[in-house]
Amino acid sequence: MPLRAVARTSRRPLRLLGETVRPTRAAGAGAGAPGRSGSVRAGVLGVNDGLISSFSLVMGVAGGTGDHDFILLAGVAGMLAGAFSMAASEYVSMRSQRDLFEHAVEQQERELRERPEEKRELLGSLYRAKGLSDEQADQVAARLISDPEVALDTIARERLGLDPTELGSPWSASASSFVAFAGGALVPILPFAAGAGGTAAVLSAALSGGALATVGGALAALSGRGALWGGLRMLLVGGAAAAVTFGVGRIVGTYIA
């Protein structure tokens, strides 16, 4: 049975024991505000990764050379390399996870087809564990097992902890990771791309510092923490990373000059 067919059953209510019952949402599945918050948080973290890595790279190269064209080239190369790396990793991760989930659901579908009585007992035990009487649990299980799609959806949620409607798209996750990382990584490069001359490094540091504080404050707010302290902490951490790479770049640049 295709996974899409299982997912459709989440929208189909059943009438069991005189009441309208919908398949239970899987534990841990994103829903409502928490799910949206998790997606926003993942996006902000992607921006933060791109921002800190690019800021550190640009400052490291700027510490070793005053050639702005070379700094811009290194910054753009680092931005693209990081963005493609993040996108590829996210795609492989999501694709592998989805394959595992689909395999688990397909295995349950095969067992449901070959051993329906065993699955009816399983469904009954699940609802007895939720507080239904033996008679009620058996009635619910019998009604569910009469519709294989609904039975499979229920088993996927209750037994496997999966929500078939929210397994995620590898391509969407990959594209989101690429855009988020590239967006953050672009900030330190902008002054060099705009041809700001001798002030490019200072402007890059200022823009990156402001962006770090903003991202840190946003992450703290999403976590229910103080935005001011979150912004300051991110600024200190990102600034320290950039300062260290700048110092290393200065030493290496002096040595090879």
pLDDT of res. 119: 83
Instruction: Quote the pLDDT of residue 241.
Output: 95
**85-100: b or e for each residue (b if 16 or more CB lie within 10 Å)?**
ebbeebbeebbeebee
| One pLDDT digit (tens) per residue for the chain, 257 residues | 555 554 454 444 444 444 444 445 444 444 444 444 445 666 778 888 999 999 999 999 999 998 999 999 999 999 999 999 999 998 998 888 888 888 888 888 888 888 888 888 888 888 888 888 888 888 888 888 888 888 888 888 877 777 766 777 888 888 888 999 999 999 999 999 998 888 999 999 999 999 999 999 988 888 888 889 999 999 999 999 999 999 999 999 888 86
Predicted confidence at residue 17, as pLDDT, reads 47
What residues does each domain of the chain span?
A: 3-11+40-256
